[in-house]
Amino acid sequence: MRGACLGGSLLCVLLITSCCCLMKANGNFTQKDSGTAFNSSKGSFIEIALKGNPTTGYTWNIAEYDQEILKLEGSTFVRDSDLAGAGGVEIFKFSVIGKGKTTLVIQYNRVWEKDVKPIEVFKLTINSK
């Protein structure tokens, strides 16, 4: 009887482990995660929420990433309130479509100001297997 329980427990551990390996690693990130790396795989999703206020002229703009690894699914701005001039959060959604390594760079700047450094830069390295 004891051997049957041990075998059943081992089977449960194997099933749980195999299910975990089949799940895709999705990631949610904010400004505090800038400069970090994320291990992912094809079929995963990445969401990045960055605080900003477009009424100041500053917006979050994607500067670089490998389009063979990531696909931008869309972006939306969610305001903090209905008050005029209210800030909020810009949310970028990406799907992982390929294997490899890329650094996603998103800059907070005024797009019409040339030769001016962005006031903030978000960077995330994605390792897709």
What average pLDDT values come out for the chain (129 residues) when binned by 10 residues?
Answer: 45 37 70 96 96 96 98 96 93 97 98 95 97
Which residues, listed in sequence order, are joined to residue 9 by a DSSP beta bridge?
A: none
pLDDT attached to residue 25: 62
pLDDT attached to residue 43: 94
Which residue matches tokens 């291990």? 39
pLDDT attached to residue 55: 94
- Residues 95, 116: Cα–Cα separation, whole Å: 31
pLDDT attached to residue 16: 37
CA distances from 109 to 4, 34, 59, 115 (A): 64, 16, 6, 11
Q: The whole model's pTM is what?
A: 0.79
Q: Which domains does the chain have, with CATH numbers?
A: 25-128 (2.60.40.2020)
pLDDT attached to residue 4: 47
Of 100, 98, 91, which Cα lies nearest the Cα of 43? Answer: 98
pLDDT attached to residue 53: 96
pLDDT attached to residue 105: 98
